[in-house]
């Protein structure tokens, strides 16, 4: 049986490992998680909601993930501000 202290260490370690595995579009703020293709597509759709001062960093990280997952720039709509970074 796992003791109370051991259980806490186990749960804490698991949370740390799962957050380290997840890559974010804005890592310092832990916003726009992009661990897989569907999340990258969601980040593209939500791009217009990012603050203007975070726009460039998020665009760079989305572009990198688009290349990694083979997402075409055609997935970015004309009204999406990400379009100007592609």
pLDDT digits (tens, 9 = 90+) for 17-74: 454 457 899 999 999 999 999 999 999 999 999 999 999 999 999 999 999 999 999 9
Q: Which domain holds residue 36?
A: 22-85
Query: Is residue 38 one of the residues assigned to a domain?
Result: yes
Distance CA 83, CA 67 (A): 15
In this structure, is residue 8 part of a structural domain?
A: no
Q: Looking at residue 21, what is its pLDDT?
A: 57
Query: How many separate domains does the chain show?
Result: 1
Assess if residue 1 is contained within a domain: no
φ, ψ dihedrals at 72, nearest 5°: -75, 145
Structure tokens at 17: 């490992």
Phi, psi of 83 (to 5 degrees): -55, -35
Short-list 56, 50, 48, CA closest to 77: 48
The confidence score (pLDDT) of residue 78 equals 93
The whole-model pTM stands at 0.75
Round to whole Å and give the CA distance between 47 and 11: 33
């Amino acid at each position: 049986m796992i003791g109370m202290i051991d259980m806490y260490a186990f749960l804490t370690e698991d949370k740390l490992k799962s957050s380290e595995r997840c890559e974010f579009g804005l890592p310092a703020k832990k916003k726009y998680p992009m661990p897989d293709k569907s999340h990258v597509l969601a980040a593209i759709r939500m791009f217009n909601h990012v603050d203007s001062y975070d726009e460039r960093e998020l665009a760079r990280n989305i572009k990198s993930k688009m290349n990694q997952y083979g997402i075409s720039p055609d997935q970015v709509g004309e009204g999406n501000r990400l379009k100007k970074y592609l």
